[in-house]
Structure 1
Amino acid sequence: MITRKYKIADKVVEVNSIYDEVHEYCTDYLTDEPADYSVTTTQADIDFECEKSAREDEIEGIPTRHFSDSYLEELAVYRKIAEQMISYDTILFHGSVVAVDGVGYLFTAKSGTGKSTHTRLWREYFGDRAVMVNDDKPLLKITDSGVIAYGTPYNGKHRLGTNTSVPLKAICILTRSADNHIEAITREQAYTILLQQVYRPADMLKMTKTLELVDRLADSVKLYKLDCNMDISAAKIAYEGMQ
């Protein structure tokens, strides 16, 4: 068993893993501070991730993908972290967070819609004013004074992210369109996709707490729908529309 500690979303987790790749993945978050909690993976956890991936491939009608045990352990570790973080009012959310002038904007959509492409346009348009916080699975802490978005090691296939945190101003749901148009939406209009994109634990008590946190999330940030193409003007229209 290999043991190291990482500070993720302002909490220190002690990770006990079988393979070293997990620790290579998380190296930017290494710390020697006392642990707030620990997670330990077993071969059973790796087997679970393998079976889950196979089921998802079957549902999507694609050939079964085969991953190494070390990669599957990375998934298992983050699943365990996500479940622990719920106790700290923090949820894992599937989306891409970019910050401009220190303020975060989260873009979410069904896979393949273009979240990463859109946040790339923001980085091109704003230059040094823009920072990629996390391109895939940020953690969101819900507080009484707002929502904080955190970078994590789990930042997508292109490894785009920063070990940082920013106040989250808005969540924007993307759809593809020939023209660019943004509009504010209600929590009722956004709620279904918010629920789809948050990590949903199997444990019923943790799921109940997750639902409470999604409710608070929807009430704490501004919500938008963006119809967009892949032109850089989409970044300008989106940013100005969320001001």
Structure 2
Amino acid sequence: MVNRYKIADKVAEINSIYKEVHDYCADYLTDEPADYSITTTRSDIDFEREKSEREDKIEGLPVRHFTDSYLEELAVYRKIAEELINYDTILFHGSVIAVDGVGYLFTAKSGTGKSTHTRLWREYLGDRAVMVNDDKPLLHISDKGVTAFGTPYNGKHRLGENISVPLKAICILTRAADNHIIPVTTGQAYTILMQQVHRPDDAVKMMKTLNLVDKLADSVGLYNLGCNMDISAAKTAYEGMQ
């Protein structure tokens, strides 16, 4: 099955085995000409299965069993991420919320509460706050700044929109008894930035990714937020990044 989808301002022609890939991306369907093409194979699905099983074992978790169609969805996004590096765009693990049309990205180790925190922002700021992508946004990095894009791959709760916003700040979340936010340097943030960005196996693309992460860190505000997941944490974070 073949269709075209406009994701992060570039059109991907996707040739998949299962139709679920296309159901997942339906909100991004376009008839514009393709900038690049992606084809998935059984070996791509096998790779995603082996990777998932390996990660579960490393973390000491029960091995999860996924359908082939779900694994193909992961394979497609991996291929999209690899292609978009050529267009100065990277996949980043985090939750992006926009307030008055300006984006803020929250990132942390899994289980820290990124989605919970952006939910608090929506409660605190009401209609002013819009979810862009709750899991794996795409970030386009240029001399004019950073643009965060919604994508079909927006987390298990499917929170996000087919929109783009200028990214103002990246905030690293940690758990704390009392809410507090401080600016951090590129050096202080660099390890988590590299952990959360998609890192390609290809050496040339990896070098470009490193350069894009450097440029990203220089283009937005960087903060560390200690928060207790009370709604006051949203107030502390939003005011601290103004």
**Which TM bucket (shorter chain)?**
over 0.9
| Distance in 1 (alpha carbons) for counterparts of 2:143 and 2:92 | 19
- Residue type matched to 1:122 in 2? W
State the secondary structure of the residue aligned to 1:83: helix
Which residue in 2 is equivalent to 1:61? 60
Pairwise CA distance, 1:100: 0.2
Residue 114 of structure 1: CA displacement?
0.1
Task: Name the amino acid aligned to 1:204.
Answer: A
> Once the 2 structures are TM-superposed, how far is the Cα of residue 6 of structure 1 from its aligned partner?
0.3
Within 5 Å, give how 1:157-236 maps onto structure 2: 157-236=156-235
Q: 2:89 — aligned with what? A: 90
Is 2:69 the partner of 1:74? no
Whole-angstrom CA distance in 1 between matches of 2:22 and 2:177: 43
Deviation at residue 223 of structure 1 after TM alignment: 0.1
| Counterpart secondary structure, 2:3 | strand
Q: Look up the match of 1:121.
A: 120
For residue 79 of structure 1, report the CA deviation from its aligned partner. 0.2
Q: String of CA shifts for 1:89-108, please: whole Å, max 9, x gaps.
A: 00000000000000000000
Question: Which residue of structure 1 lines up, in the alignment, with residue 13 of structure 2?
Answer: 14
Cα distance in 2, alignment partners of residues 236 and 30 from structure 1: 37
Letter in 1 for 2:123: E
SS of the equivalent of 2:86 reads helix
Quote the Cα distance in structure 1 between the aligned partners of 2:116 and 2:39: 35
Aligned partners of 1:229 and 1:131: how far apart in 2? 22
Report the residue type matching 1:231 in the other structure.
D
User: What are the ranges of 5 or more consecutive residues in structure 1 without an aligned counterpart?
Assistant: none
TM-score normalised by length of structure 2: 1.00
Q: Distance in 2 between matches of 1:140 and 1:17?
A: 25
In structure 2, the residue matched to 1:32 is 31
**Which AA in structure 2 matches 1:174?**
L
Cα RMSD for the two superposed structures: 0.3
Aligned-residue offset at 1:64:
0.7
Unaligned runs of 5+ in 2: none
How much has 1:187 moved relative to structure 2?
A: 0.3
- Give the whole-Å Cα distance in 1 for the aligned partners of 2:230 and 2:129: 17
- Shift in Å at residue 230 of structure 1? 1.1
Number of aligned residues? 242
Matches of 1:179 and 1:4, distance apart in 2: 49
Structure 2 CA distance for aligned equivalents of residues 150 and 236 of structure 1: 24
**1:162 CA displacement:** 0.3
Normalised by the length of structure 1, the TM-score is 0.99
CA distance in 2, matches of 1:202, 1:228: 35
Q: 1:113 deviation in Å?
A: 0.1
Deviation at 1:63, TM superposition (A): 1.1
**C-alpha distance in structure 2 between counterparts of 1:140 and 1:97, whole Å:** 10
Q: Give SS of 1:66's match.
A: coil
Amino acid at match of 2:189: A
Letter in 2 for 1:185: V
- Aligned-residue sequence identity (percent) comes to 80
How far does the alpha carbon of each residue in 1:29-65 deviate from its partner, in whole angstroms, 9 at most, with x for none? 0000000001000000000000000000000001111
**Aligned partners of 1:116, 1:62: CA distance in 2, in Å?**
22
Runs of 4+ aligned residues of structure 1 deviating over 2 Å after TM superposition are: none
